């Protein structure tokens, strides 16, 4: 609507991840309970909370109350461990996946459409390449992988399943063959501790998977692309008063850091020409960078003091920056009534 640009509001949002649908009832109950306590003690009013305002004010005030904040993070960690145990039990009962509950072993997910630009091959190469595979095993991280596969790229899931069988990786990698939105909402995004966001450079948009995970205190491990540029700060960027809230995955460049990965991918691309153009190879996520992030994630989960803070920061980001439906609605309602009718 070029003639009506002055009537439009852009709130840095690209989709509608509805927090009420995706957030665990247990986590939502925790937040509401602490919000009620802050109201009772005179630190907040109802007007400081959704739908009238964002959750930003709640988190700001909570962090000014050290005892409450510490108790909140402890209870969040307890709830998250219960949700993760529920995911493990569901995987075991539905797919006979031989996992046990272990709070020091985080579970990450890569549950997205299996198409070339979403770069599942970056993760598959880590399991294919012996030095990387050994580093992954030492990290302690477990991963659930799946999604609807399209075209010849579905071969990537077959390669992944072959690697799991060949190297006996069943206790570390679980493939979900019948992924659907129901299990995503009830089990996967409530239980995982991290969400991977892999994609070809300049081809990611909304990062909805990360937003669903963060609303349930899962860490975003993401490429520098799309909507995450608005809200993700790497843990290495911590500084006083503004902590990092996730992990960046870097891209391969003109001078690639992973020649073995690109050689392997180039060979596959020659055999399946619809996957990618030759020039796209240097715009893939770096396998080395992803692996380093997984190592960092595993080390963090073995340190309870770090784990509880990182989960809290993920939840805060999910509820403040990924609360897109309410934010967009508030933006529309901010129009004068006459302008809303015109739009």
Q: Which residue has the higher pLDDT, 291 or 20?
A: 291
pLDDT in tens, 227-276: 788 888 898 887 656 788 899 999 876 545 677 887 887 777 777 666 65
Q: What are phi and psi of 6, to 5 degrees?
A: -70, -10
Q: Which of 2-6, 134-138, 215-219, 336-340 is predicted with the least confidence, judged by mean pLDDT?
A: 2-6
pLDDT reported for residue 181: 84
Q: Which residues pair with 133 in a beta bridge?
A: none
pLDDT in tens, 267-322: 777 776 666 554 566 688 999 999 999 999 999 999 999 999 999 999 999 999 87
pLDDT band at 13 (very low <50, low <70, confident <90, very high): very low
Q: What are phi and psi of 196, to 5 degrees?
A: -85, 135
The answer to whether 239 and 106 have CB atoms below 8 angstroms apart is: no
pLDDT band at 105 (very low <50, low <70, confident <90, very high): very high
């Amino acid at each position: 609507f070029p003639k009506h640009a002055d009537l439009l509001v852009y709130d840095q949002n690209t989709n509608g991840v509805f927090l009420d649908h995706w957030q665990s009832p247990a986590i939502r109950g925790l937040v509401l309970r602490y919000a009620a306590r802050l109201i009772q003690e005179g630190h907040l009013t109802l007007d400081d909370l959704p739908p009238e305002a964002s959750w930003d004010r709640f988190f700001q005030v909570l962090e000014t109350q050290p005892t409450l904040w510490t108790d909140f993070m402890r209870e969040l960690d307890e709830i998250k461990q219960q949700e993760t145990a529920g995911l493990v039990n569901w995987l075991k009962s539905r797919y006979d996946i031989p996992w046990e509950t272990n709070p020091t072993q985080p579970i990450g997910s890569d549950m997205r459409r299996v198409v070339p630009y979403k770069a599942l091959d970056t993760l598959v190469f880590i399991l294919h390449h012996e030095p990387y595979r050994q580093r992954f095993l030492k990290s302690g991280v477990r991963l659930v992988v799946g999604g609807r596969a399209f075209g010849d790229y579905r071969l990537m899931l077959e390669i992944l399943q072959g690697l799991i069988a060949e190297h006996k990786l069943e206790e570390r990698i679980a493939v979900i063959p019948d992924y659907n939105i129901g299990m995503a909402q009830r089990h996967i995004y409530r239980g995982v501790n991290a969400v991977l966001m892999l994609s070809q450079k300049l081809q990611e948009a909304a990062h909805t998977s990360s937003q669903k995970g963060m609303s349930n205190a899962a860490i975003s491990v993401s490429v520098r692309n799309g909507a995450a540029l608005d809200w993700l700060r790497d843990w290495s960027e911590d500084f006083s008063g503004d902590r990092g809230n996730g992990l960046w995955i870097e891209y391969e460049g003109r001078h690639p850091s992973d020649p073995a990965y690109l050689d392997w991918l180039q060979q596959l691309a020659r055999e399946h020409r619809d996957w990618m153009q030759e020039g796209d190879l240097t715009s893939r996520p770096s396998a080395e960078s992803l692996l380093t992030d997984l190592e960092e994630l595993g080390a963090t989960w073995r340190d309870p003091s770090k784990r509880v803070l990182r989960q809290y920061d993920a939840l805060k980001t999910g509820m403040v920056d990924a609360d897109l439906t309410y934010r967009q609605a508030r933006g529309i309602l901010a129009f004068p009534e006459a302008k809303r009718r015109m739009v």
